[in-house]
Chain A
């Protein structure tokens, strides 16, 4: 059979990871760590560019592979970061790894990213829950580094309890900064907590926004989306301007294995970021 598909000359396949080294491990919460990663091949590191919202497939050799969104800024070309919750086989193994350990990386993947280009000269409202802050951190940093091209920037972030807040230093920094308004809440308090208590949806109504000039970004645990979307719709935001980063089982990352199906879409190639309009009629999406 003669096919137009050209023979692969690069001697690599879409399943072969590039070797990278963990340069730094920081503890963010009792169950989350931040890994700073650099490709062993300097050329690969140089070429590695991604958009906010994209993800990579990380291989722990001999153990398995799992998808992680990239929380670091796309402008940082020297390294990239992954925020990992100790929850499964691969993430558990990562948590046992120290700086210097070797891992495999494939990606970045996903055509669906946070549309930082369309968002220019618009207000931005970011709603994140728990570990959902990680994927949007990349967008926040991108905007902060190009701040003059964006209008109001609001971040609503909810965590389980004060201890579970990730990127605590960054959150403190945001609280001090004038160019980002952060609205923080926790579900369960402790004695030290002086801030808001309850779910993120409670904080959304108080945020003022001009519906036709506002983009919203949502990322959090599966249960969160439906409720947040309801609140955003109450503010008359256009469904085309509401972006959701959806988690599914992205195994191959390249649209082959089909595990990340959301109705007619694949989270790995069509997403993982979708506009609410795109998934409006996909009943199992949120």
Chain B
């Protein structure tokens, strides 16, 4: 890691250069409520002080809602061609917990088998992170995801009159050297950065009582009343999964064009909250009720990957809480498990 300083008066120039040199994706105000990560052509469109974003930013760039994987031509000979798309892009203004979400996705798509459709895009994505104020539903601090140690090229932390830059890759170093007027960080810069981080962490008001959940989950697992109450209002609509920066489930489908000559294999985002998720050919559904499904979601987020990945599959961004019309709240539910256990 290299530590550099970018003076505020030089920030605009730096970002403008990046916008003109690269395909640049950043947060832009979408409507009165949300920001969305979209291509930015003009600095004035960029707004990094967003409060809410429904759409998992990194996820959709690397793992689009629908994506063609394989194309084939059917005839006397069958020709099969993998479809792998990638182009160099800058993702600017992503916060630490979303970077941690992306790190989880990196792990998923590289473990056991390497998913080239994901990694072709990931290799060419230049990530420039930036801190932002946590939203009301954000509980990233309790999930240990409020700070990103890696997964980015450059990370900007805004101090009073300057940005404290953490440069994690040689690519990040090349970019700052080429496009930014930077200087080395001094002791006083570190002192201010350290103070900023303490302040920043104190801004996370929402706390999830996650420490013993790994074992407590087994305690609550068979408590039907608990799960019935927790999932009572669930629409099985999958919104929680589809806005999640770490949800990676997808369907694989084959399709044929009307000419019956050219077809493809594609994937689309799926959700474990949809009844069809656990359905197998022959009609047996392994998770027929919304109680089963909510339980599975919490298990997947907060237990399964503690074993496999060593971390939670939840970065505490709070999007699922924002998105749920049934007001199902992972923080309240987990905290109430704790209460049930200690009662």
Contact = CB atoms under 8 A, between A and B. Distances in A.
B277 interface: yes
Contact of B256 (A13, A17, A62, A251): A62
Interface stretch (B111-119, B140-148, B225-233): B111-119
B125 A251 contact: no
B252 A283 contact: no
A91 B281 CA distance: 9
B78 A1 contact: no
A283 B111 CA distance: 25
Q: How large is the interface on B (under 10, 10 to 19, 20 to 34, 35 or more residues)?
A: 35 or more
Contacts of B279: 249
A1 B171 CA distance: 7
A146 interface: no
Contact of B277 (A87, A259, A284): A259
Contacts of A193: none
Main secondary structure of the interface of B (DSSP, over half): mixed
A191 interface: no
A166 interface: no
Interface in B282-328: 282, 284, 286-287, 292, 296, 299-300, 303-304, 307-308
Interface in A1-45: 1-3, 5, 7-8, 11-17, 19
Contacts of B251: 251, 257, 259
A254 interface: yes
A178 B267 CA distance: 50
Nearest to B277: A259
Contact of B250 (A66, A257, A284): A257
A257 B265 contact: no
B69 A2 contact: no
Contacts of A255: 111-113
A16 B70 contact: yes
Given A13-B84, A14-B115, A257-B249, A65 B265 contact: yes
B38 interface: no
B275 interface: no
A284 B263 contact: no
Interface string A233-270: 00000000000000111011011111101011000010
A15 B71 CA distance: 10
A281 interface: yes
B82 interface: yes
A256 B69 contact: no
B254 A87 contact: no
B127 A1 contact: yes
A201 interface: no
Interface stretch (B16-24, B102-110, B157-165, B184-192): B102-110
Contacts of A252: 250, 252, 267
A65 B282 contact: no
B250 A2 contact: no
A259 B282 CA distance: 16
Interface in B172-207: none
A161 to B, nearest CB: 18
A3 B109 CA distance: 13
Contact of B222 (A60, A257, A283): A283
A198 to B, nearest CB: 22
A259 B115 contact: no
B307 A264 contact: yes
Q: How large is the interface on A (under 10, 10 to 19, 20 to 34, 35 or more residues)?
A: 35 or more
A104 interface: yes
Given A62-B254, A284-B287, A256 B109 contact: yes
Nearest to B123: A3
A14 B282 contact: no
Interface string A54-88: 00000111111110000000000000000001011
Given A1-B126, A257-B270, A12 B265 contact: no
Given A63-B256, A259-B277, A13 B70 contact: yes
A51 interface: no
A102 B260 CA distance: 15
A256 B299 contact: no
Nearest to A85: B282
A64 B264 CA distance: 10
A249 B78 contact: no
A222 interface: yes
A256 B82 contact: no
B250 A256 contact: yes
Nearest to B283: A87
B151 interface: yes
Candidate in A8, A16, A91 with the most chain B CB atoms within 10 angstroms: A16
A64 B84 CA distance: 20
Contact of A269 (B112, B153, B170, B256): B112
Shortest 3 CB-CB contacts between residues of A and residues of B? A62-B256, A88-B281, A62-B263
Given A1-B127, A264-B308, 8 more contacts: A13-B82, A17-B80, A65-B252, A87-B282, A249-B279, A251-B251, A264-B307, A283-B221
Interface of B: 69-70, 72, 74, 78, 80, 82, 84, 106, 108-117, 119-120, 122-123, 125-127, 151-153, 169-171, 218, 221-222, 248-256, 260, 263, 265, 267, 270, 272, 277-282, 284, 286-287, 292, 296, 299-300, 303-304, 307-308
Interface of A: 1-3, 5, 7-8, 11-17, 19, 59-66, 85, 87-91, 102, 104, 221-222, 247-249, 251-252, 254-259, 261, 263-264, 269, 281, 283-284
21 contacts: A1-B151, A2-B123, A3-B106, A3-B122, A5-B119, A13-B82, A14-B115, A16-B70, A59-B254, A61-B74, A64-B253, A87-B281, A89-B281, A104-B72, A255-B113, A256-B109, A258-B300, A259-B277, A263-B304, A264-B304, A264-B308
